[in-house]
Chains A and B, each alone.
Chain A
Amino acid sequence: MSAAAHSVVAPSTTSKRVAATFVVVYAVISMIPLFWIFATSFKTPPDSIAYPPKVLFTPSMEGYCNLFTTRTRQTPEYINSLPPATSFCDETTRKRNMVIAGPSNFLPRFVNSLIIAFGSTFCAVFLGTLAAYGFSRFKVPMADDLLFFILSTRMMPPIAVAIPIYLMYRELGLSDTALGMILLYTAVNVSLAVWLLKGFIDEIPREYEEAAMIDGYTRLQAFRKVVLPQATTGIAATAIFCLIFAWNEYAFASLLTSGTAQTAPPFIPTIIGEGGQDWPAVAAGTTVFLVPILVFTILLRKQLLRGITFGAVRK
């Protein structure tokens, strides 16, 4: 192949093949840990700690049973005296000489995650849309300084913020409450929301609102009926980013919640069985926890770049 035939604009077939090979190899290797989480969630506890690690195994739902229940050890005589097992989980538990004692804390923690993530996302996007519109359309004195201030709040180390927040919440009775966590996550997310949404609203031509206002709309009506419908994609993308942050957050959750308002991330590492961490149950919890994010990532892939750079880079 001559040098002139090659052009970076249209890379040669060989270079494409080499590139494809490397990229695919990287992608496959980087997927192994996630595949392993998924696989482990369907293993029995003995299979999960076998050496060498088992790639082929008989799938079992035991991890999921253990994730949602708490169990107590019983004598074989006691188990035999019980009426026949009614569910699959009952049966697997009894085979290990144990009896289901009740539901585990996973479900309430998962529900907490849902409430706090959706609640804070709604508040952050609501406040963020208003503020972004304000910054985008009006001459706000010291706008650049205010925007920088908004951004800088996101850059503070979470533990450093958590110390005074812990004291403040203790005084106000907000420690370990869903309301406290929603407020905190809203404050963290609103900075992202303002920056992202300002970019999206900047892209909507002002002429649309001006035309509407000449037609007799007030500023607020123009905002509601002209700008908001145009910004729907941007608002949706921003909401998903806020949701992912609140869903994944661990530092604040582990320090400021301990019981009633605890979310799933600090809870999952504490799932233990007899003699240490119950890895299939942990893997099951992790899988249940990660699936929504996988779906969102695929939905978001076109806006991803913008979201992770606070709107600094656009495609």
Chain B
Amino acid sequence: MRGAETPETMQDPSGKPVVTDTTSSILDRAAEAAVRATPDNLATRVRGLSDRMVAWIFIAPTMLLLLAINIFPLIWAIQLSFTNYRANRPNEEVKNIGLQNYSRILNDHDTWIAMQATAHFVLWTIVLQTLIGFTLAYLIDRKFRGHAFWTTIILVPMMLSPAVVGNFWRFLYEPQIGLFAYVISFFTGIPPTEILMLSSVKLAPWAIIIVDTWMWTPYVMLICLAGLRSIPDYIYEAAEVDRASNWRQFWSITLPMALPFIMLAVLFRGIENFKMFDMVNLLTGGGPGSTTEVASITLKREAFEKWRTGFSSAFAIILFVAVFGLANIYVKVLNRVKSR
């Protein structure tokens, strides 16, 4: 392809080939550009905006949109969090009650139960997804025949809508007719009518953990796989020369070098599951009672069922701060991964 081109010519913007190889033509073109640039100042100013202007024109619309849809409502929510406002009674007098909402949330027993449910959910999903995800990535990295195909198959669940698929898991979990209960009773002999995944206080938290793990293990796997593939072969070759055992190689090369990637996956999952709403809302709706009432579900119940807008705004602000803290840590880790 390259050989076919005449080396002396290249296309200029107007489409006609110009000779570039000789010094004189470069001078000619420079002169031509100078002529084009100098005389009509106005035209250049309109067509060729200064880089500074272009930068702001390009960035400003995004910033304005984010200010309107994210920051303005956030400020509104902060203001509401100091009041007793209720969105379903717009005509009622709004009173400023200071920090009462915040102190009530932090001293409320129910809040801590919700936080415990969230912590249980986040912790176990991360543990399971990291273990299974890393193992799968390690196995796929053996590069057996067809590994690319099976990787794509494994990735499918994470691209699907958690709400729509989570809703269908309700059917799989049905004690009488569901596939899940049938399979469990087939292997354990427990009658399927006793496998109440969604309505038993003991099992419901695990029901949501299972679905989340099914959905998001591929995510952790994909990031771990990138980590494993980033380890250069020569390090393993050197270890082979030193007669390091496979076990030793795993602990002193594979794991430490993949660790930043694993951490990245863990942080992403942590943030995502901390704000988990859709799947849990459809599977259990926070029930039975409030056993699976993760933070977002509490927030939805307070804001859109009990209509305690002021109170729930305060709760939302507390969650913001928590997520913002996590996001900060995340960016630090991300930068460390990138600088490697």
Of A3, A160, A298, A308, which is in contact with the most chain B CB atoms at under 10 Å from its CB?
A160
B115 beta carbon closer than 8 Å to chain A = no
A146 touches B160 (CB 8 A): no
How far, in angstroms, from A191 to B337 measured CA to CA in the complex?
Answer: 20
Residues of A within 8 A of B96 (CB): none
How far, in angstroms, from A304 to B225 measured CA to CA in the complex?
Answer: 12
B303 beta carbon closer than 8 Å to chain A = yes
Q: Which of A20, A183, A277, A301 meets B171, CB within 8 Å?
A: A277
A220 touches B49 (CB 8 A): yes
Closest Cβ of chain A to B162, distance in Å, is 7
Of A8, A31, A130, A248, which is in contact with the most chain B CB atoms at under 10 Å from its CB?
A8
Within B62-91, the residues touching A (CB, 8 Å) are 62-63, 65-66, 68-70, 72-74, 76-77, 80, 87
Residues of A within 8 A of B337 (CB): 312-313
B42 beta carbon closer than 8 Å to chain A = no
How far, in angstroms, from A13 to B218 measured CA to CA in the complex?
Answer: 25
Closest Cβ of chain B to A157, distance in Å, is 4
Residues of A within 8 A of B282 (CB): 250, 269
Nearest CB to that of A266 among chain B residues?
B163
How far, in angstroms, from A135 to B49 measured CA to CA in the complex?
Answer: 17
A133-B58, A294-B156 known; A250 and B278 CB under 8 Å? yes
Q: Which of A23, A51, A162, A168 meets B139, CB within 8 Å?
A: A23
Please report A residues at the B interface, Cβ cutoff 8 Å: 3-4, 6-9, 11, 15-20, 22-24, 26-27, 30-34, 36-37, 40, 48-53, 127-128, 130-131, 133-135, 137-140, 146, 148-153, 155-168, 170, 183-184, 186-187, 190-191, 194, 212, 214-221, 223, 225, 244, 247-251, 254-255, 264-266, 268-269, 277, 279, 282-283, 286, 289-290, 293-294, 296-298, 301, 304-305, 308-309, 312-313, 315
A17 touches B309 (CB 8 A): no
Q: Other than the known A20-B144, A250-B162, what 6 A-B pairs have Cβ atoms closer than 8 Å?
A: A15-B142, A30-B154, A130-B61, A131-B59, A266-B163, A308-B222
Q: Which of B47, B154, B176, B277 meets A251, CB within 8 Å?
A: B277
Closest Cβ of chain A to B36, distance in Å, is 6
How far, in angstroms, from A20 to B326 measured CA to CA in the complex?
Answer: 37
A7-B240, A158-B277, A250-B278 known; A164 and B313 CB under 8 Å? yes
Residues of A within 8 A of B61 (CB): 127, 130-131
How far, in angstroms, from A225 to B324 measured CA to CA in the complex?
Answer: 39
Nearest CB to that of A170 among chain B residues?
B87
B125 beta carbon closer than 8 Å to chain A = no
B257 beta carbon closer than 8 Å to chain A = no
Q: Decide if the interface of chain B is mainly helix, strand, loop or mixed.
A: helix
Residues of B within 8 A of A161 (CB): 70, 73-74
Q: Which of B54, B87, B168, B274 meets A282, CB within 8 Å?
A: B168
A138-B55, A164-B77, A315-B226 known; A187 and B69 CB under 8 Å? yes
Residues of A within 8 A of B54 (CB): 134, 138, 219-220, 223
Q: Which of A163, A170, A223, A304 meets B155, CB within 8 Å?
A: A304
Q: Which of A33, A219, A255 meets B169, CB within 8 Å?
A: A33
A155-B327, A157-B275 known; A27 and B142 CB under 8 Å? no
B261 beta carbon closer than 8 Å to chain A = yes
Closest Cβ of chain A to B48, distance in Å, is 4
Contact with A along B220-240 (1 / 0, CB 8 A): 001100100100010011001
How far, in angstroms, from A167 to B309 measured CA to CA in the complex?
Answer: 10
Q: Which of B169, B323, B330 meets A157, CB within 8 Å?
A: B323
A33 touches B165 (CB 8 A): yes
A34 touches B59 (CB 8 A): no
Nearest CB to that of B59 among chain A residues?
A134
How far, in angstroms, from A22 to B323 measured CA to CA in the complex?
Answer: 36
Please report B residues at the A interface, Cβ cutoff 8 Å: 12-13, 29, 32-33, 36, 44, 47-49, 51-52, 54-59, 61-63, 65-66, 68-70, 72-74, 76-77, 80, 87, 132, 135-136, 139-140, 142-147, 150, 152-165, 167-172, 176-179, 182, 192, 214, 217-219, 222-223, 226, 229, 233, 236-237, 240, 243, 245-246, 249, 261, 264, 268, 271, 274-275, 277-278, 281-282, 295-296, 299-300, 303-304, 309, 312-313, 315-317, 319-320, 323-324, 326-327, 330-331, 334, 337-338
How far, in angstroms, from A38 to B80 measured CA to CA in the complex?
Answer: 46
How far, in angstroms, from A168 to B72 measured CA to CA in the complex?
Answer: 9
How far, in angstroms, from A95 to B84 measured CA to CA in the complex?
Answer: 56
A151 touches B331 (CB 8 A): yes
B160 touches A290 (CB 8 A): yes
A7 touches B161 (CB 8 A): no
Closest Cβ of chain B to A177, distance in Å, is 14
Closest Cβ of chain A to B159, distance in Å, is 4
Residues of B within 8 A of A298 (CB): 152
A30 touches B157 (CB 8 A): yes
A159-B296, A160-B316, A305-B226 known; A36 and B172 CB under 8 Å? yes
A293 touches B58 (CB 8 A): no
How far, in angstroms, from A156 to B320 measured CA to CA in the complex?
Answer: 6
Q: Which of B68, B164, B229, B268 meets A286, CB within 8 Å?
A: B164
B65 touches A160 (CB 8 A): no
Nearest CB to that of B53 among chain A residues?
A219
Q: Which of B76, B80, B161 meets A293, CB within 8 Å?
A: B161
Residues of B within 8 A of A216 (CB): 13, 32-33, 36
How far, in angstroms, from A237 to B241 measured CA to CA in the complex?
Answer: 42
Residues of A within 8 A of B249 (CB): 8
Residues of A within 8 A of B171 (CB): 40, 277, 279, 282-283
Residues of A within 8 A of B338 (CB): 312
Residues of A within 8 A of B69 (CB): 165, 183-184, 186-187
